[in-house]
Amino acid sequence: MEEPRARITRDGIRIHEAADFDGMRRAGRVAADILDLVAPLVVPGARTGAIDDFIRAEIERRGVVSATIGYKGYQHASCISVNQVVCHGIPGSKIPKRGSDVLQDGDILNVDVTVIVDGWYGDTSRMYAAGPIKPWRERLIQVTHDALMQGIEAVRPGATFGDIGHAIQSFVEARGMSVVRDFCGHGLGRVFHAPPNVLHYGRPGTGPVLEEGMFFTIEPMVNLGRPETRVLADDWTAVTRDGRDSAQFEHSVGVTATGVEIFTLSPAGRFHPTWG
Ligand code: MF3
Ligand code: CO
Ligand code: CO
């Protein structure tokens, strides 16, 4: 790989060096590997609190660090967002319209894990299903997954962040679903949340120009109904205002000389719930 010089663009985006890709590969792989191990735990009757306990233990066992424990007062090793929860669902907290954190047959959920490995951040999330799910939930998951991949396909030097957002938004809206505006992806690297804000909607040719050495997440949240969200009294849990279902997938990626490298690919090929 050609060696990009470490610098910060006028938009505040860090251009990383070739050697930094190695750090991101290691961090991304740990996060993705942990999400692979979560798959068999997602069954009706399981508690989201127990899934988070497993993730925390796995992070400790590997001698790496959770990026979310202690982040702005957050106390958990993952976010677990069930059904109409858009993001930042708190493991062990009550599932909306339910008295407990126990998963039921037909639930869909996103599990989001961020780890720090030798100072580098790996941030990824994916959807899981507890037992067989309704066809419209299957479709929501498929469209959200494919929307992330459409966004990733737009990543190459010379493209813009607006191109990424447009690829995601046009794909989702053509399928009658909506893109959440209230949360976005983010630059990362040796920090958790850095410039730019990676919007999952937008117009082609707008926004900062992508350059080799940029690292960021793409993490579209897609709703079956309206895009609006609200945050519950716990100050974290974001839910759809209309109470309909939401899904999300997230990868950490880097811009290469010719395109994109995904740092958080599933080592077991389990990123999509129907593949595992
Ligand atoms: N991992 C989330 C993201 O994709 C951030 C979670 S912050 C937490 O950016 F505090 F809610 F865990
Ligand atoms: Co993220
Ligand atoms: Co995340």
pLDDT for the residue 24: 99
Q: Is 52 in the pocket of ligand 1 (CB under 6 A)?
A: no
Please report, rounded to a whole number, the percentage of residues in the chain having pLDDT higher than 90.
96
pLDDT, tens digit, 9 for 90 and up, residues 51-90: 999 999 999 999 999 999 999 999 999 999 999 999 999 9
Q: Do the domain assignments include residue 115?
A: yes
Q: Is 275 in the pocket of ligand 1 (CB under 6 A)?
A: no
Q: Is 112 in the pocket of ligand 1 (CB under 6 A)?
A: yes
Question: pLDDT class for 3, splitting at 50, 70, 90?
Answer: low
pLDDT of 235 > 90? The answer is yes
pLDDT for the residue 6: 80
pLDDT for the residue 124: 99
In terms of Cα–Cα distance, which of 90, 110, 111, 112 is closest to 101? 90
Which ligand has the nearest atom to the CA of 70?
Answer: 1
User: How many structural domains does the chain have?
Assistant: 1
Q: Do the domain assignments include residue 276?
A: no
**For ligand 1, atom 3: residue with the closest CA:** 123
Q: Do the domain assignments include residue 3?
A: no
Paired tokens of 212: 């080799």
pLDDT for the residue 147: 98
In terms of Cα–Cα distance, which of 264, 172, 168 is closest to 216? 264
Which ligand has the nearest atom to the CA of 216?
Answer: 2
pLDDT, tens digit, 9 for 90 and up, residues 9-58: 999 999 999 999 999 999 999 999 999 999 999 999 999 999 999 999 99
Index of the ligand 1 atom closest to the CA of residue 186: 9
Its pTM stands at 0.98
**For ligand 1, atom 2: residue with the closest CA:** 112
Contact between 210 and 85 under an 8 Å Cβ cutoff? The reply is no
pLDDT, tens digit, 9 for 90 and up, residues 241-252: 999 999 999 999
pLDDT, tens digit, 9 for 90 and up, residues 189-207: 999 999 999 999 999 999 9
CA of residue 63 to ligand 3 center, whole Å: 20
pLDDT of 1 > 70? The answer is no
* Residue 97 Rama label (left phi>0; alpha psi -120 to 50; beta): left
Give the C-alpha separation, 217 to 196, whole Å: 10
Q: Do the domain assignments include residue 6?
A: no
Domain holding 187: CATH number? 3.90.230.10
Q: Is 71 in the pocket of ligand 1 (CB under 6 A)?
A: yes
Q: Is 123 in the pocket of ligand 1 (CB under 6 A)?
A: yes
pLDDT, tens digit, 9 for 90 and up, residues 134-188: 999 999 999 999 999 999 999 999 999 999 999 999 999 999 999 999 999 999 9
CA of residue 249 to ligand 3 center, whole Å: 9
> Residue 185 contacts by C-beta under 8 Å, 6 or more apart in sequence?
197, 198, 199, 200, 216, 217, 218, 219, 220, 250
Index of the ligand 1 atom closest to the CA of residue 78: 12
Question: Would you tell me the crossing angle of helices 18-38 and 48-61 to the nearest 10 degrees?
Answer: 140
Q: Do the domain assignments include residue 1?
A: no
Question: pLDDT class for 273, splitting at 50, 70, 90?
Answer: confident
Q: Note the Cα 143 to chain centre separation in Å.
A: 15
Q: Is 192 in the pocket of ligand 1 (CB under 6 A)?
A: no
Give the C-alpha separation, 150 to 136, whole Å: 21
pLDDT of 276 > 70? The answer is no
Please report, rounded to a whole number, the percentage of residues in the chain having pLDDT higher than 70.
97
**For ligand 1, atom 7: residue with the closest CA:** 68
CA angle, 109 as apex, 201 and 52 as ends, to 5°?
Answer: 115
pLDDT of 275 > 60? The answer is no
CA of residue 139 to ligand 2 center, whole Å: 23
Q: Do the domain assignments include residue 7?
A: no
pLDDT for the residue 53: 99
Domain that holds residue 27: 13-271
Q: Is 88 in the pocket of ligand 1 (CB under 6 A)?
A: yes
Q: Do the domain assignments include residue 4?
A: no
Q: Is 114 in the pocket of ligand 1 (CB under 6 A)?
A: yes
Q: Do the domain assignments include residue 8?
A: no
